[in-house]
Amino acid sequence: ESYVRSIPQAQYYRNVLMQGYFVPPSILEGLENFEIRPHDIFIITYPKSGTTWTEEIISLIYNGGDTKKVQKKLLIFRVHHLEVGRPIGHLRFLRKLRSPRLMATHLPLDLIPKQLREAQCKVIYVMRNPKDNVVSYYHHHQISTSLGNYTGSWDDFLTLFLKGHLVYGSWFDHVLSYWKFHQQHPEKVLFISYEELKMDLERMIERIANFLDRPLHPEAIKNIAHHCSFDQMKNNNMVNREQLPVTDFFNMSHTKFMRKGIIGDWKNYFTPEQNETFEKVCKEKMAGSGLHLVFEP
């Protein structure tokens, strides 16, 4: 339908809708056998769940909390996206990186490299409550050139989200399959949420650092938390996408990539009817998972 037509070079890769602008089939096809190293670190998220935030945190953890070391290098050159890159040479580029490689992906569990599905390295999965997640994804679709600068309605967008028809597929399938993955490999896969980061950033930085066997001094934790607050990151050109090697990635004349950064913005978008439908689908899909979703600050 019209959503799919609005996505540049839209393609279904093993039943999941992808944009081909930055995620070419040539990369996806090469991923199954992409080699994972024991010291790789992967951040895995459904889009708009706090990927950039977590990337900046782990980049700082690997720099011992020294914020000076990340002041002059764009985040996209410090944490590499697995499936996003040039049609030719991207995987070769990833293979040439020195360890430890810090990487990120939005791909559903079925589409990540086989060795990553076997948890051959540490993974941090970040979930965000789906109501705020869809609001953020809606705005992202408007600013993002690679997603066709969405001009459709909020109501249509919400319906597509609930049906799992957006780029990267169903939020529910994504979260539930990685939740299971975490339960199967608890020492290898850390499962955290945007809301936990928001509510106690210092404690979460400590948890992430300990999980990565890179414990930090309390002073370093404080520095990272300050550097990674929303206000700091919003004004930090190394992470806020205002400064990129290619300038037509985003049209940020109305909304910024660092948009609001809060829990509960969904209340400004959901009508009572939309909320009722959403709750119903959400309850059905999440039943029995044991996952706890936080919708309020």
Decide: is 52 part of the binding site for ligand A3P (CB under 6 A).
yes
- Of the candidate spans 145-153, 154-162, 217-225, 259-267, the one that interacts with ligand A3P by CB under 6 A turns out to be 259-267
Q: Which two tokens stand for residue 269?
A: 């978008």
CB of 8 to ligand A3P, least distance (A): 18
Decide: is 127 part of the binding site for ligand A3P (CB under 6 A).
no
- Nearer to ligand A3P by Cβ, of 143 and 189: the residue is 143
* Residue 247 CB neighbour total at 10 angstroms: 8
Q: What is the largest CA-CA distance in the chain?
A: 53
- The secondary structure of 16-27 as a DSSP string is EEE-TTTS-HHH
Binding test (CB under 6 A) with ligand A3P, winner from 258, 266, 270, 282: 258
Decide: is 242 part of the binding site for ligand A3P (CB under 6 A).
no
Confirm whether 39 is a catalytic residue: no
CB of 265 to ligand A3P, least distance (A): 6
**Choosing from 80, 81, 106, 174, which is the catalytic residue?**
106
| Number of DSSP helices (H) and strands (E) in the chain, helices first | 13, 7
Alpha carbon distances (Å) from 255 to 95, 238, 249, 272: 35, 18, 14, 25
Decide: is 70 part of the binding site for ligand A3P (CB under 6 A).
no
Binding test (CB under 6 A) with ligand A3P, winner from 70, 124, 167, 233: 233
Binding test (CB under 6 A) with ligand A3P, winner from 74, 260, 277, 294: 260
CB of 251 to ligand A3P, least distance (A): 15
Q: Are 135 and 225 in contact (CB under 8 A)?
A: no
- Nearer to ligand A3P by Cβ, of 246 and 287: the residue is 246
Decide: is 230 part of the binding site for ligand A3P (CB under 6 A).
yes
Closest CA to 158 of 181, 186, 139, 184: 139
- The secondary structure of 183-245 as a DSSP string is HH-TTTEEEEEHHHHHH-HHHHHHHHHHHTT----HHHHHHHHHHTSHHHHHT-TTTSSSS-S
For binding to ligand A3P (CB under 6 A), which residues are involved? 45, 47-53, 132, 136, 139, 198, 228-230, 233, 258-261, 265
Annotated catalytic sites, by residue? 106
